[in-house]
Chain A
Amino acid sequence: MAFKPNVRETERDSRSEPLNRDDQTLVRRIRAGDVTAFEQLYRDYWNQLYNFAFRYVQSSEEAEDVVQEVFFAVWKGRAEWHITSSLQHYLFVSVRNAAIGRLRRDSTMQRWRQRTVGEDDTRSQEATDALVESADVNADVERALSEMPPKRRAVCALRWIDGLSYAQIAERLGINEKTVENHIGNGLRFMRSRLTQH
């Protein structure tokens, strides 16, 4: 079957985007201690970063802690805050590092416990690596979901979260079934491209 890119709506890939002018302004304001700018950043990214962190730590409280940790670090270190990538990419990477750090700390504690009873900790290290790798994949799917165009995200949400059929989605949104199919298929193609990078 032919590869047919959708030219009307394209997914963003914040990993390759530079810091745009709006983000530069926001960063500059935060560096200057502007609480309103920090609140904007916080409210704009909280939900997607929380969902992303949850894929690593699998706990609502811990996911919130991880995201808070990142925002707290931004605010406390604002005077020295320099970023070159897109703001979104910076935040996702920061949350990933914080979440994986937490997983590895937990794993380290577990290894210490195992050592005291003489178990093989190499196996434990491998298990942690596998856990992180699996979490990375799920987190990248989560991130890809958040980077889809709004209309496509809405269609995918109705499909996979609400469990509606293509016909029901078409009726709900007043679009035809073929359009629904295109949104679902293109959404899957975009997210699969993220999976295959692992």
Chain B
Amino acid sequence: MQHYDAEFLALLDRYLAGESSAVEAEQVRQWLAADSGNQAILNDVDRIRGVARNRPPATRVDAAWTRAVSELGLDAGMDSAHVSAPTIQPRAHRPAHTETSRRTWTWRAVAASLAVAAVAAIVVTTSRPPTTQPKAEAREFATARGQRLNVQLADGSKLTLGPASRVKVAEDFGASTRELTLVGEAARDLADYQRLTSEGKLGEAGQKLEAEIRHCRACHCLGLSRQASP
């Protein structure tokens, strides 16, 4: 197989999208003319773009699982001895974290993200002005590999925590603070995001991060992207 570097393949991507400059387009045309086999490479890129663009219709895992439970008789046949204890452990009523300990926690999260490429360490801070009130207690939720968890936040919004992820959130999220620390993947409900934005509760950093979180969900399953995007 002939190797082309990322830069050149990205050029072909822009060429096919009609976004290349006149100089770049001419470069591609000359490359095509130089070898009849090059057309096949351009066709490959075109096919990849096409497959990625034409997403299958959305599917709903909850509905599918309900059907599986029904058809396999899992609801009736559940043996409590076989149902393992949940590994998702909300840790409530922890002492309030000092600024230093919060920084340490975040630093550890960042270190973890460097060690594991799939992990992202993110801190959401919205435009709410600083408050002199003492920090509320934080709750931490974590999922094991292969697990997901719906977390109901104190402000009424929901967050779906992806596999092998954890989130730390103030117990009074939405009141004294809108700070949230996430390691891994999570998805915010689109309706929550739109409501918070319309109410002006999300600052620029918050909006940017919310977009990224929603795309984490999108990227986990490209089929959901259109549903999840505004």
With beta carbons under 8 angstroms apart, the residue of A42, A46, A156 that contacts B52 is A156
Given A22-B145, A161-B53; A153-B219 close (CB under 8 Å): yes
CB <8 Å contact, B9 and A192: yes
Q: Is residue B19 within 8 Å, beta carbon to beta carbon, of the partner chain?
A: yes
Residues of A within 8 A of B79 (CB): 33, 35
User: What band does the interface of chain A fall in when counting residues whose beta carbon is under 8 Å from B?
Assistant: 35 or more
Instruction: Please give me the residue from chain B that is nearest to A197 by CB atom.
Output: B1
CB-CB under 8 A from A159, the residues of chain B are: 13
A-chain residues with CB within 8 Å of residue B45 when the two chains form the complex: 188, 192
Question: Measured between alpha carbons, how far is A14 from B118 in the docked complex, in Å?
Answer: 15
Q: B-facing mask of A121-163, CB < 8 A → 1, else 0?
A: 0000000000000000110011001100111011011111111
Q: Does A16 make an interface contact (CB < 8 A)?
A: no
- At the interface, yes or no: B212 with Cβ under 8 Å from chain A? yes
B71 contacts the other chain (Cβ, under 8 Å)? yes
Cross-interface CB contact of A47 among B59, B67, B145, B229, cutoff 8 Å: B59
A189 contacts B64, C-beta separation under 8 Å: no
Interface string of A1-38 (1 = CB under 8 A from B): 11110101110000000000010001001001111111
- For residue B68, which residues in chain A have a CB less than 8 angstroms away from its CB? 42, 68, 71-72, 75
Q: Is A103 an interface residue (CB 8 A)?
A: no
Once the chains bind, are A160 and B52 in contact (CB under 8 Å)? yes
Q: Mark A56-86, 1 if CB is under 8 A from B, else 0.
A: 0000100110011001100110000000000
Q: How far is the CB of B121 from chain A (nearest CB, A)?
A: 13
With contacts A149-B118, A154-B215 taken as known, whether A181 is within 8 angstroms of B65 at the C-beta atoms is no
Q: How far is the CA of A80 from the CA of B154 in the complex (A)?
A: 46
A158 touching B222 by the CB < 8 A rule?
Answer: no
Please tell me if the beta carbons of A151 and B120 are within 8 angstroms of each other in the complex: yes
B163 sits at the interface (CB 8 A): yes
**Residue of B at shortest CB range from A188?**
B9
Chain B residues closer than 8 Å to A186, beta-carbon distance: 6
Residues on A with C-beta less than 8 A from B147 are 40, 44
Chain A residue at minimum C-beta to C-beta distance from B56: A54
Which residue of A1, A8, A142, A165 contacts B8 across the interface (Cβ within 8 Å)?
A1
Q: Nearest 8 pairs between A and B by C-beta?
A: A185-B6, A47-B221, A54-B56, A153-B219, A185-B10, A154-B219, A160-B52, A40-B146
- 22 residue pairs A–B, Cβ–Cβ below 8 Å: A1-B4, A1-B5, A35-B83, A40-B147, A43-B65, A46-B59, A50-B56, A51-B55, A51-B223, A68-B68, A75-B72, A146-B221, A153-B222, A154-B212, A156-B52, A157-B219, A158-B215, A185-B10, A192-B1, A192-B44, A193-B1, A195-B44
